[in-house]
Structure 1
C-alpha cells in the first residue's frame, strides 16, 4: 500500500486535503508550505503544477498558476524541489494538474520521477479515462501511483462504476460541474446527487472538492463523503506576507 491507501485504511471520516500551487507565492515556497500544513493537521496534500490554460480553475487558482509560471515553476523544477520532501513530510502527497505538461515531460518519465520523490497519487482532470486505461495505466501501476478520477453531478452510473473499478485510493467527487473557487452548493438537487453516490456503495472512499472554504462547508461535505478538499480559500491565504504563520489557525478553523 502507498501512503494514500494506508491513510484511508486507518481513517475513514473527516479527512482534510489542502490544495496549493507549486511555485506560489514564491518559486521556492512549495516544501515549506507542505511542512506547515502537515504540522497544522492536514491529512493529505494536493500540490498543483501550473499550466497556462487551467480550464477547470477559478480566478484564484488561475492567478496562482500565472504567478508560479512567471516565477519559473516547471515539472523539472518541482521534482528537484521535492527530492528531499520525504525527509520532513510524511503525509500523502498528490500532484494535480493538466495532461499537456505531463505528456510533454513524458508520461512514463513523469510517473517514475513522481514515485522517486515520494508522490502517492496524481489528479489529471483532463485525462480521458479510456486513454488512461489503454495507454498509461501501466506506468501508474508500476510506480505505485494512484490515479484519481473525478465524478460530477452529470456522471452516469455506469461511468461511476467503471471509475470505481479502476481506482485504488479514492474518488474525487466534484460538488458541481463549475470551476474551482465557488461556494459549496447544498441545494436539494446536489444533496440528491450526494445521496445517489452514497447509495451506490462504491468500494473506494470519496472526497468532495470545489466550493469547500470553511468549517460549515467541510462538515456538510463530510456528511456524504470521507472528507473534503480546500483549494481556493487556502490559496487566498498565501497572498498574506506572513502566510506560513497563519496556516495553523486556518487548518484549525476548518477541523476544530
Structure 2
C-alpha cells in the first residue's frame, strides 16, 4: 500500500490541516501535489468508492469528490455526463457523505467535496458542514459561490474545521485575487484553485500559453501568506502535470479520469485508475 495512505499520526482535530500536511509533505519531497477528481455515484455508488480508493493507492495526495447537480454550470460535457448518470442512479448529498465515509475509513488521503451551492443550501449549511466533518471530509469547493456571498458557509465550514477553497479564473481582477487570498489565509488550511483557462472543465491537449503569467499574478498575493496554489481544468497527461507544477504546488485532474472509467469495463476500472494515477505522478519532480 502507498505510504501516503496510512499515516502514523492521528487525524487532526481540524480536518483541514490534512490538506496543509499533504502540501507540506510534497514540498518536503520536492514535488507537486496530485489531486484527482471523481464523481460520487459514478459509475455507481459502490464502484465510485472502489475507483477513489484505487486512486489513493496509486499515489493521490488529495482527492476531490464531486457532488452531482442537475445544472452544473462550470462542468464540461464529460463531468456533466458523469453527474447525470450518478443522479439517475440515485446519488444524493447524503449518498456523497456516505461515499466520503467509506473512503475515509480506508485511507488517510484528504477528501474535498466539490459541488454547487443550491443543494448545499437546501441541505442546511451548518448541517452540511457538520456531516462533512463527521464523514471524513477536510474541505469544500463550491464553484458557483462568489467570495462576496460566502460568509455563511465560510462560518459553518470553519466552525467544523473545514477548508473552504475558492476558484480563481484567469480573468479575475487583482482585487478579487486579493480578497480570496485574505479569506483563505483567515481560515483553516486550504489552497487556492487556479483555473488554467476560461470556460468549462474538460481534457485538452495543450495548456494555455498564458498560464505562467496568470499564476505569477496570483503568486504576488499568495506568497507572503504561504498559501499553496493548485491548477485545474484541462489537465490529463504527465507532461501537463510537469508543466503546471513548475509554477504551482498542485495539479487537479478530472475529466480524463471520467473518460478512463467510461472506457473500461467495471472489472478493469480500479487497475486502470491506479495505473493512470501512477503515470501522472511521473510528471511530479523527484518521484
What band does the TM-score fall into relative to the shorter chain?
A: over 0.9
**5+ unaligned residues in a row in structure 1: which ranges?**
none
CA displacement, residues 66-92 of structure 1 (integer Å, 9 cap, x when unaligned): 000011000112223433433211110
Following superposition of structure 1 onto structure 2, how do residues 13-52 of structure 1 map, counting pairs within 5 Å? 13-52=31-70
CA displacement, residues 57-111 of structure 1 (integer Å, 9 cap, x when unaligned): 1111000000000110001122234334332111100000100110111111100
Match of 2:26 among 11, 14, 25: 11
Q: Which residue of 2 aligns with 1:249?
A: 275
Find the aligned partners of 2:20 and 2:138 in 1 and give their Cα distance: 9
Q: Which deviates the most, 84-93 or 233-242?
A: 84-93
Find the aligned partners of 1:137 and 1:185 in 2 and give their Cα distance: 35
Instruction: Tell me the TM-score normalised to structure 1 length.
Output: 0.94
CA displacement, residues 27-75 of structure 1 (integer Å, 9 cap, x when unaligned): 3223212211111111110000100111111111000000000110001
CA displacement, residues 123-149 of structure 1 (integer Å, 9 cap, x when unaligned): 00011212212x222211110000000
Aligned-residue offset at 1:194: 2.2
Does the CA contact (< 8 Å) of 2:169 and 2:195 recur in 1?
yes
Does the CA contact (< 8 Å) of 1:19 and 1:231 recur in 2?
yes
Match of 1:61 among 79, 88, 91: 79
Q: Which residue of 2 aligns with 1:79?
A: 97
Q: Which deviates the most, 52-61 or 194-203?
A: 194-203
Match of 1:190 among 183, 202, 211: 211
**5+ unaligned residues in a row in structure 2: which ranges?**
1-13, 283-287
Does the CA contact (< 8 Å) of 2:113 and 2:137 recur in 1?
yes
Root mean square deviation of aligned Cα: 1.6
Find the aligned partners of 1:188 and 1:82 in 2 and give their Cα distance: 36
Q: Which residue of 2 aligns with 1:169?
A: 190
Does the CA contact (< 8 Å) of 2:207 and 2:234 recur in 1?
no
What is the total number of aligned residue pairs between the two structures?
Answer: 255
Find the aligned partners of 1:197 and 1:81 in 2 and give their Cα distance: 33
Change (3 A) 1:202 1:213: farther
Aligned-residue offset at 1:154: 1.0
Q: Which residue of 1 aligns with 2:132?
A: 114
Match of 2:245 among 217, 222, 229: 222
